[in-house]
Amino acid sequence: MKTLLMPVAAACLVAAANAQAQSPMTYQPSPYVGGDALFWELDPDGPAGDRDSTGLRLRAGVAFNDYFALEGHLGTGGSDGGLELDYLAGGYAKGMLPITSRFKLYGLLGATEVEFDGAESESGVSYGGGASYALMPNLSLGADYMRYLDESHYDFDAVSLGATYHF
């Protein structure tokens, strides 16, 4: 079986490379950066009340085509009753659905690390979704919702509004 698998795999690789060489690449990877107001909420389980505040989030990514990008987030700021967001940092796969030439819906899935008030940082799976609208070819406005952490004893969510510059 192994003797048959290697030649078949090699033939598939050669065929894929040949097809790629014959078809012109229609999309160049496109980097982008963005800045957002980050409206975050920490929702602990139990009788303790929600904590929420406003911070700043910076984003950077690379769109590989109209449907897929990789994106990173860095955020900080805001305090509520002695609880301060020191930082959040994460990386995400971004699936995009162009509705029109200017309007896109997108979903994000990845991992985030978050630290509050110098306490031990926590990390976990993150997910969310949003929309963006292109004002100009290189400038868009957007909004999204992210569940950054979904822990057994609390949830950490954020809604963000901001702008993105596409290189």
pLDDT per position as a tens digit, 92-107: 999 999 999 999 999 9
112-163 pLDDT per residue, tens? 999 988 788 999 999 999 999 999 999 999 999 999 998 878 899 999 999 9
Q: What is residue 137's DSSP assignment?
A: T
Query: Are the CB atoms for 79 and 85 separated by under 8 Å?
Result: yes
pTM for the model:
0.80
Q: Rounded to the nearest 5°, which phi and psi values hold at 51?
A: -115, 135
> Percentage of the chain surpassing pLDDT 90?
65
78: left (phi over 0), alpha (psi -120 to 50) or beta: left
- What would the two tokens of residue 117 be? 């008030």
Say whether pLDDT at 29 is over 70. yes
| CATH topology assigned to domain 28-166 | Porin (2.40.160)
69 neighbors 96 (Cβ within 8 angstroms): yes
Spans of all domains in the chain: 28-166
